[in-house]
Amino acid sequence: MKREDFTTLTAACAKCGTCRTVCTLYPERKAEISVARGKITLVEAAFSDRDGNAEALQEALSDCILCGKCERECPNQVAVEEIIMKGRADLAEKLGIPAWKQVVFGKVMPSVTARNVTRTAATAAQKVFLRRVPTGSGLHYRFPEAFGLSGRTVPALPGKSFLGSLPPGEAVRGEVVLFVGCVFDHVFPQVGRAAYETLRLSGKGISVFRDAPCCGLPALVSGDRLSALRCVEENVRRLSDASPERIVFPCGSCLVMFRRNMLFLLPSGHPLHGEAVRVADRCVDYASFLLETDVLSRLPDRPKGEWAGQVGYHDPCHLSGTLGKGPEGREVLRRTVGDSYSELRGAELCCGYGGTFNIRDYPTSAKIGQNKVSVAAGGGAAVIATACSGCILQMRDMAARTDPSLRVVHIAELVSKAFSSR
């Protein structure tokens, strides 16, 4: 690992242990190594030659959901996520990246064609190999236990992506860009469509960012710095050239990549740093854009409660915690579903997804996620609305295990429904 990259970052840690009291993973692991303080101590040990076991350090840094709760509660503002992501990248460069990750992050995620081919193949495969599981959120498919995936369910994939459903001349120009994200394009195109249709109600010209690479977050958190950098550089160049007023993100994870993480990859001194800062300043979450353009004032009357206080808002860790956008999501929901809204029990509890953490340790990820949806359902929730693709994937899977009638949706779907039903 590169000493100069880490010394300033780790030196800020006072070893106070506050991070242990809030860590999402600590109750499962009960081990110091699972919390920020333990990981930082190992990084420091690696620099001082007290512990040169790179594999052990890689294991420790990989065992993290990247929920950011430690960082937000840290009295010294230690940049825990930056330390972990940079550490993962340096160790991946030293120890190598597994072949499947090289293919997914280096070949599939940056390429529209490869993503389309993958979705088409996966759509056909899930119908042949997996068992159908109808749920309140729509059809899902369950992997057999024998696959070693502990009965994971995945949503039924569509035949067409959201971008694939747009006519060639539509949403090409506009002062506002919609960055729909891979999941809301390929897995839940109805979310991409709902976001697009409701953004248009602002009266602004909406162009959809086409042929875009992934935001780069999955590659970055997996330690594949090169693939992440390729995505980020192309996105910054193209968005800088287009120079829109606003870039709107239905997904909180893509947004945190643009608002914060891409500057880890394009730091001060990088030729694209200035453009990256200007692009980041224009990026905004879906709910904030609806509120700043007053779209919801067009809803003709206060909606009548359909679910009688049973619709609540889940706080995505990065959108609500890191970027502080929890109030905006709630406000949009309250104004959209009226009396059906109430505060979700355990709204701030992490869903346990953590991107590749969900693949690395599915049983632990599922245990945290099942607790999340059980607490919400125990508080009377019938619908969990949110604004992050990872949270929706995870909570739908968890609902299919614990309470298949529980619906998990994006707030844009409810906004779109509210407009179309009046």
Residues near ligand SF4 (CB under 6 A): 13-19, 22-25, 35-37, 40, 64-70, 74, 76, 78, 80
Pairing of strands 383-386, 311-313: parallel
Q: In this complex, which beta carbon is closest to ligand SF4, that of residue 23 or of residue 398?
A: 23
Least separation in angstroms between residue 255's CB and ligand SF4 is 18
Residue with tokens 């929730």: 381
Least separation in angstroms between residue 351's CB and ligand SF4 is 12
Nearest of 166, 7, 13, 169 to residue 80 by alpha carbon: 13
Q: In this complex, which beta carbon is closest to ligand SF4, that of residue 22 or of residue 149?
A: 22
Nearest of 411, 399, 393, 395 to residue 351 by alpha carbon: 395
Nearest of 83, 59, 57, 58 to residue 70 by alpha carbon: 83
Least separation in angstroms between residue 9's CB and ligand SF4 is 10
Q: In this complex, which beta carbon is closest to ligand SF4, that of residue 59 or of residue 175?
A: 59
Q: In this complex, which beta carbon is closest to ligand SF4, that of residue 81 or of residue 224?
A: 81
Task: Output the six-digit token pair for 93.
Answer: 């460069």
Least separation in angstroms between residue 89's CB and ligand SF4 is 16
Q: In this complex, which beta carbon is closest to ligand SF4, that of residue 36 or of residue 333?
A: 36
Q: In this complex, which beta carbon is closest to ligand SF4, that of residue 326 or of residue 352?
A: 352
* Dihedral (CA of 36, 41, 44, 49) sign: negative
Residue with tokens 């509120």: 291
Least separation in angstroms between residue 86's CB and ligand SF4 is 14
Least separation in angstroms between residue 326's CB and ligand SF4 is 17
Contacts 24+ apart (CB under 8 A), 286-289: 286/195, 286/199, 286/248, 286/249, 286/250, 286/387, 286/411, 286/412, 287/325, 287/328, 287/329, 287/331, 287/332, 287/387, 287/411, 288/325, 288/328, 289/176, 289/199, 289/202, 289/246, 289/248
Q: In this complex, which beta carbon is closest to ligand SF4, that of residue 44 or of residue 306?
A: 44
Cβ distance 319 to 388 under 8 Å?
Answer: yes
Measured between its terminal Cα atoms, the distance across the chain in Å is: 58
